Amino acid sequence: MRKQFAKMLLASVAAFTLASASVEACTRVLYGTSDSDYIVGRTMDWDVDPRTNLWSFPRGMARDGGVGPGSIKWTSKYGSLIADFYDAATAEGINEAGLAANLLYLAEADYGDPKASKKPLLSVGGWTQYILDNYATVADAVKALQKEPFAIVAPDLPGGVRSASHLALADQSGDSAILEYLGGKLVIHHNRKYTVMTNSPPFDQQLALNTYWVSIGGVNFLPGTHRASDRFARAYWNLNATPKVADGRVAIASVFSIIRNISVPLGISAPQEPNIASTRWRSVTDIKNRLYYFEPTLNPSIFWVDLKNLKLEPGAKPAKLDLAGDPILSGEVADKFVPAEPFKFLSR
- Residues annotated catalytic, as ranges: 26
Q: How far is CA 147 from CA 141, 142, 153, in A?
A: 10, 9, 17
Q: Spell out the residues 6+ positions from residue 246 whose beta carbon is closer than 8 angstroms to its own.
A: 33, 34, 35
Q: How many CB atoms are located within 10 Å of the residue 167 CB?
A: 24
DSSP class of 149? -
Report the 10 Å Cβ neighbour count for 6.
11
Q: How many CB atoms lie within 10 A of CB 319?
A: 21
Determine how many CB atoms are found less than 10 A away from the CB of residue 36: 12
Burial 59-82, CB ≥16 within 10 A → b, else e: bebebbbbbeebbbebebbbbbbb
DSSP letter (8 states) at residue 172: T
